[in-house]
Structure formats: C-alpha cells, structure tokens
Amino acid sequence: MRKKDILFNKNIILVRGGKGKKDRTTLLANSTSIILNNYLKIYKPKYWLFEEFNRRSQYSRTSINNIIKRSCKIAGVHSISAHTLRHSFATHLLEQGTDIRYIQTLLGHSSSKTTEIYTHVSKKSLGNIKSPLDSILDNNTNINNKL
C-alpha cells in the first residue's frame, strides 16, 4: 500500500490490486488515522506505507503474514491470517447493521451473492432481529397506553 493511498481527509483507504486483483475503497478508522499519522511522522516512509527499513521496499506477503502470526502469539490469540481479518471486518459490519450492499462495495465483490456467503450471520445478529408481529403489538400497546 502506498502512502498516497491513505486519504486522511476522507477517512478512506484505496486498496489497489487487493484480493482478486481488484481495486476498491475501504474505511479508515479515526483511531487508526491518529496512529498512522504518528507512524508517518516518526518513521518517514518514502513511498510505501510500510517499508522494510533496510531496503525501503514493500513488505512481502510472507512478511505480513509473519507479522500477523507474531502479533497473535504476543496477544495470546490463535493464529489467524490476513483473510481472517477481512472476514472479521465484514462480519462486524454486518453485526452493526451495515447494509450488505455497502459491505459488498467495501470488500470489492461484484456479486452480492459472494458477500452473502462470505459474511456468515452470527447468532448474535439473529438474536437482535425483532419479529414484525412483536413490532406491531408494541406499537398497538404504545397507542393504547396513550389513549
């Protein structure tokens, strides 16, 4: 990822040639924006956002996976992959009530069917769904209470 692919003023990250060799736009969290700005001031990478310091070159896929594995070990979390992080991002968006079409765009899927398969529905999400009948009865109760 290049430094210029982080659009701090819009809280957006441009992902070029990501999964499936597709370009897409995704979110930059406010908390991450602060951390990245501090990182850029301290380490001053030239072209790539994260560079191998001895060569000023882009990190390899293997290096990124090794960083994730080491971080998991330090955090006491079972080893995960970059793909697991992508899947978790989509699942959390879904659990927060984000429309599946927005998630589709953020993941760069051309078909919503891919997104529906990719983002499993958790039991937590299912537990938060309210039956339309309950909504009708609640509304009638509220109306009756006001009368």
Q: Domain for residue 147, yes or no?
A: no
Q: Which domain holds residue 127?
A: 61-139
**Hey, what are 105's tokens?**
């765009």
Same domain, 120 and 71: yes
Burial grade of 145 (CB within 10 A; 0-12, 13-18, 19 or more)? exposed
Q: What pLDDT shows up at residue 74? A: 92
At 37-95, the pLDDT tens digits run 999 999 898 889 988 767 778 888 888 889 999 999 999 988 788 888 888 888 888 88
Same domain for 52 and 81?
Answer: no
Q: Which of 89, 114, 88 is nearest to 101 (CA)?
A: 114
Looking at the fold, whether 31 and 74 belong to one and the same domain comes out as: no
Number of domains in the chain: 2
Is the entire prediction scored with pTM above 0.75? no
Identify the domain boundary among 42, 59, 76: 59
31 vs 135 pLDDT, higher one: 31
Residues 93 and 131 in one domain: yes
**pLDDT mean over 102-115:** 86
Residue 75 lies in a domain: yes
Kindly state whether residues 69 and 16 are assigned to the same domain. no
Same domain, 48 and 70: no
